[in-house]
Amino acid sequence: MVETVHGVEIHDPYRWLEDTGSEEVRAWVAEQRAHTRAVLDAYPRRAELEERLREVLSGGALGPSWPRGGRRFFSRRTGSMEQAALYLVEDGQERLLVDPVELTGDSTGALDWYVPSEDGELVAAGISTGGEERSTIHLLRAATGDLLADRIPNCQWGTVAFEPGGESFLYTVYPPGEFYGQHVRRHRLGRPAAEDELVFQPADKTESPGPISVSPDGRWTAITCNRGWGESSLWLARVGGEPREVFRGQDESVHAWFSGDRLLALSNAGAPNWRCVVIDPERPQRASWLDLVPETEHVLLGVEASSDRLLVHHLVEACSWVSVHRLDGTFEGIVDLPPLGTVTGLGAHPSATEVFLTVETFTRPAFVLEVDPATGKFAARGGLEPPAGFDPAAYPVRQVRFSSRDGTSSVLFLVGRLEGEGPTLLTGYGGFNLPKTPLWSPAVVPFLEAGGLYAVAVLRGGSEYGEAWHRAGMLESKQNVFDDFQAAAEALLEHRHCRPSSLGILGRSNGGLLVGAALTQRPELFGAVVCQVPLLDMVRYERFRIAELWNREYGSASDPEAFRWLHAYSPYHQVRAEARYPPLLLLTGEDDARVDPSHAFKFAARMQAAHPESLTLLRVEERAGHGQGKPLTKLVPEEADIWAFLLQHLG
């Protein structure tokens, strides 16, 4: 198919693959599956890798700890469990609250999110199946584990705020079958969801409300409403009244919540590295905000209050740094955390003195520290252990700096081999104001054990260095992200960690776009490419699923100027007949609720047709989505395919 868009002739011969439900496309996918399996199953190390990955991934996963009403709530998956389940600790005793697999009778049943009430008596849990993330709210009584009859569907990425007394709560929900138009409703326990009253609905369908917070006395409700990943507004409502807008950012954001009797907010309004402010609901105008934690040279990620202290989470060179403050913001000290680590959960509540930090590093899975806010000292409260046979000390972690094409300096984390050339895997993300920090990635273990070097690049578009860093990698500046990534690859080559033939790249979602652009712009740099659940057709991306939400990050092809930069880097449109491409493995899920699988379909078809001599494999997972909620029995063979492919082609 050929069409003219803004005066440019666009060749789109595989548009028919966008009709993912048609018999023709299903037959094509079946052929791709058969070919991919034949190739991957023939790799000599695949069976060995799958066995090791089953051991490693059985180590599980651990979510943040949230203290509420004398209980501590957390999610965990261990051993042969297919999915993470919800647990609580009370009076020193741990017990299971809900297992989504048991609840749904389906191995793909996933705990997408959960919210305990302020007193810890009730929990709202969002549960979905098949990787589609279209959560249904279930309610549980924490004291008994009893499941209430209430069910509320279509609560993808939901947020819940219990009202005082625990008989009602506010929640975000989508219209049935819709990807847009999220709004806020009030549910009263025991009543049908169809009777829930509308509380708030943004005028723009692509604006997303949440988080929601209710003051302890029930007098005020605060609703943050997000427009993309760089702007938001704040709405306040008195009890029984309509929400009114009290702040609307122009390329600025605010995220507000009640912490005890105080309305706190994180905001980058006038503070690109973010600050924490106190807002008086009676005088909520920006000019009246009072700094609680002022902006510093480092990015502020979060603030949580216990009964007598604040814990403040900053990023310093893309690593976590937590400080203790009095409730008035006065600095007291630093928590002695492991170097080059990430705090994945900062759990505190104004009703409790306990504070729990959940921490990960590149070589240590998640563990929990209970911090004494008065001293900053901590005690271990459990966690996950490294896999059997894996010694974290044998795989050193360090940071190095590299410079991008325009001279911008950034950070590259290196894990594993200290010297000599060998198989090297580079990954990154660079978008949506999300940081790339040290995290435990168990699937990388067999690669490290095989002598591999794992490299993680900090790229513009993320939040590692504040909002200016984010904006330097979005819209018309998106090419900066690709330049950063290619510069990181060149730094690895320059320092003789690898050769192009032994350098692989991997990225997922927006990171899939990243490696797709790297592949089409600089194919000579790489020996193998793994591209997971990717965006690759940037001319038509916004026509599918939830992708209109991303216009503020990428731009819209309906705008002639935005079309120019989107088309210039769109991987699907930049496949060149004269180029030589390294082996490519594309992965997607049939039920991806975020990125349409047709991106991977079309790119695979184009690469295979343009370069039949190059290896392009397409792996399509049934009953799977963007990756969230994928059961262990699907995760292990998928990771075995990825790492067998990489080790096969990187030597």
CATH number reported for the structural domain that contains residue 100 in this entry: 2.130.10.120
The secondary structure of the chain in percent helix, strand, coil, rounded to multiples of 5, reads 25, 35, 40
The answer to whether residue 41 scores a pLDDT higher than 80 is: yes
* Catalytic hit among 509, 570, 598, 599: 509
Q: Are residues 79 and 20 in the same domain?
A: no
Residue 77 inside a domain? The answer is: yes
Is 351 noted as a catalytic residue in this protein? no
Q: Which of 201, 225, 249 is the last residue of a domain?
A: 201
The answer to whether residue 642 scores a pLDDT higher than 90 is: yes
pLDDT band at 199 (very low <50, low <70, confident <90, very high): very high
Q: Are residues 90 and 123 in the same domain?
A: yes
Percent of the chain past pLDDT 90, that is, above it, reads 94
pLDDT band at 381 (very low <50, low <70, confident <90, very high): confident
* Catalytic hit among 183, 187, 325, 626: 626
Burial class (CB in 10 A: 0-12, 13-18, 19+), 632: middle
* Residue 163 pLDDT: 97
* Residue 1 pLDDT: 86
Structure tokens at 623: 């009953």
The answer to whether residue 377 scores a pLDDT higher than 80 is: no
Read off the pLDDT of residues 393-416 as tens digits, 9 standing for 90 and up. Answer: 999 999 999 999 999 999 999 999
What value does the mean pLDDT take over residues 353-375?
92
pLDDT band at 268 (very low <50, low <70, confident <90, very high): very high
CA 48 to CA 209: how far, in whole Å? 47
Contact indicator for 506, 455 with CB cutoff of 8 Å: no
* Residue 286 pLDDT: 96
Read off the pLDDT of residues 217-231 as tens digits, 9 standing for 90 and up. Answer: 999 999 999 999 999
Q: Are residues 45 and 148 in the same domain?
A: no
Residue 35 inside a domain? The answer is: yes
User: Does the CA dihedral 558-435-162-130 come out positive or negative?
Assistant: positive
CATH number reported for the structural domain that contains residue 578 in this entry: 3.40.50.1820
Residue 280 inside a domain? The answer is: no
pTM to 2 decimals?
Answer: 0.97
Read off the pLDDT of residues 530-588 as tens digits, 9 standing for 90 and up. Answer: 999 999 999 999 999 899 999 999 999 999 999 999 999 999 999 999 999 999 999 99
Q: Are residues 457 and 571 in the same domain?
A: yes
Q: Which of 161, 177, 201 is the last residue of a domain?
A: 201
Contact indicator for 415, 437 with CB cutoff of 8 Å: no
Residue 256 inside a domain? The answer is: no
β-sheet bridge partners, residue 157: none
Residue 295 inside a domain? The answer is: no
The domain of 30 spans 2-55+388-650
What value does the mean pLDDT take over residues 330-348?
95
Residue 312 inside a domain? The answer is: no
The answer to whether residue 374 scores a pLDDT higher than 90 is: no
Read off the pLDDT of residues 464-479 as tens digits, 9 standing for 90 and up. Answer: 999 999 999 999 999 9
Residue 35's H or E segment, with its range, is helix 23-41
Read off the pLDDT of residues 579-628 as tens digits, 9 standing for 90 and up. Answer: 999 999 999 999 998 999 999 999 999 999 999 999 999 999 999 999 88
How many CA atoms within 13 Å lie on the side-chain side of 37? 9
Q: Are residues 19 and 102 in the same domain?
A: no
Structure tokens at 457: 């690049």
Nearest CA to 532 among 607, 447, 638? 638
Q: Are residues 520 and 440 in the same domain?
A: yes
Average pLDDT score, the chain: 96
Read off the pLDDT of residues 141-174 as tens digits, 9 standing for 90 and up. Answer: 999 999 999 999 999 988 999 999 999 999 999 9
Q: Are residues 192 and 121 in the same domain?
A: yes
Q: Are residues 13 and 135 in the same domain?
A: no
Residue 470 inside a domain? The answer is: yes
Q: Are residues 477 and 604 in the same domain?
A: yes
What value does the mean pLDDT take over residues 41-63?
97
Burial class (CB in 10 A: 0-12, 13-18, 19+), 149: exposed
Read off the pLDDT of residues 481-512 as tens digits, 9 standing for 90 and up. Answer: 999 999 999 999 999 999 999 999 999 999 99
Residue with the larger pLDDT of the pair 76 and 373: 76
Contact partners, residue 28, CB within 8 Å, separation at least 6: 17, 601, 605
* Residue 88 pLDDT: 97
Structure tokens at 138: 């279930």
Is 187 noted as a catalytic residue in this protein? no
In eight-state DSSP terms, residue 392 is: G
Q: Which of 154, 177, 201 is the last residue of a domain?
A: 201
CA 542 to CA 547: how far, in whole Å? 4
Q: Are residues 468 and 414 in the same domain?
A: yes
Contact indicator for 105, 128 with CB cutoff of 8 Å: no
pLDDT band at 385 (very low <50, low <70, confident <90, very high): very high
Total count of domains within the chain:
2
* Residue 82 pLDDT: 97
Q: Are residues 44 and 72 in the same domain?
A: no
* Residue 494 pLDDT: 98
CA 280 to CA 294: how far, in whole Å? 17
The answer to whether residue 375 scores a pLDDT higher than 80 is: no
Rounded to whole angstroms, the maximal C-alpha distance in the chain is 69
CA 537 to CA 10: how far, in whole Å? 11
The answer to whether residue 96 scores a pLDDT higher than 90 is: yes
* Residue 393 pLDDT: 96
The answer to whether residue 373 scores a pLDDT higher than 90 is: no
Residue 575 inside a domain? The answer is: yes
> Under the phi-then-psi rule, with left for phi > 0, alpha for psi from -120 to 50, and beta for the rest, what region is 258?
beta
Q: Are strands 61-62 and 71-77 parallel, antiparallel or unpaired?
A: antiparallel
CA 325 to CA 312: how far, in whole Å? 8
Read off the pLDDT of residues 168-198 as tens digits, 9 standing for 90 and up. Answer: 999 999 999 898 999 999 999 999 999 999 9
Q: Are residues 139 and 15 in the same domain?
A: no
The answer to whether residue 376 scores a pLDDT higher than 90 is: no
